[in-house]
Structure 1
């Protein structure tokens, strides 16, 4: 009995110090859904969804059930703040509060917080295609932390005539989860790490003859998804 008690106590200590436990959410595929659109909605990668569900291809059907959003339960410790927890998991304080229905930044030890894992792909890449027309501008490049409002269009590497290889040599067909944008380097310097509203974290790795001023082009792997993106005004935050 004593041996069992020590074993149980040790198990509880290990569980409590770990601070997290894993779960998953089941999502029903709707008509028109693609792996990319589901991945974007839930802030995970296409490859993650394929791995979690044992998928070898990209084909899915309405009413299919997919496991997405592996989540963790983080137990708040003394000295924790929403900011340092968000930084540890590479998420935003806004999302952390939204996931946990928090009205303020106040948290106390013992509180359980849901954390949705986010596989951010931020490898070096660039955009081999240009799509938008715009007027020339001679503006100073954006500084770190600056937020710009830009017009964003989308392109894909899977269309007829698309080469699929970026200027820096990244194969976007083999790496469909790359987050890449084309920019006017006079506005957003090449190599900048950015956060694009509605798209996520990305790298500014290319320019294009049709990308001028406050305009960008975002890479989306599926042609239909790229067409659905259309042309929209979004906010871009320069991170470095």
Structure 2
């Protein structure tokens, strides 16, 4: 079925260093259309269409106008991960995989990714969720790339008391990281990619320089985390 676009606005984002362009669409529903078909045509999802247009059901009508998410092209930078990009654009990793026909999380610098989101409203030319704004909107916030390991208070001989006095035995799910105080001062609030908001509340003999150790409830989760490179944003 031929689809009719009743308006098409093109935005050239003045952020050439990030190589981001976007286009917004408004679609007029035709007889026989369904949200699933429209979502499939424009590479978005039914849920995003419903949220974008404040629809409480899948019911749509001929000649109804639907706002379609902005389509953007993002050029991957060194150090980027799909989870980091998803956070900044307020989308999911699964959506990024689907939109770009990716079979894995592996992305490379200069690779072009298609992202569907709301109209641009940030310094990088993308919509940013309330959570991401807390992480990325202020230029004064510093972001570090660090090597992250994991530890747990659930071990024989472990006191469970951090350097700053936090008792992890009372709350095994507490978001606490061990840091090098020369890099991230104790007591600092941070956002750790793949972990969430946390407090720099502990130290460790092996945690020197750009390294952190995240607290997790069990040994199994610590093993599952392993060793990985992540971005840490200083929140204050």
TM range (shorter): 0.3 to 0.5
> Whose RCO is larger (CA < 8 A, sep 6+)?
1
More strand by share: 2
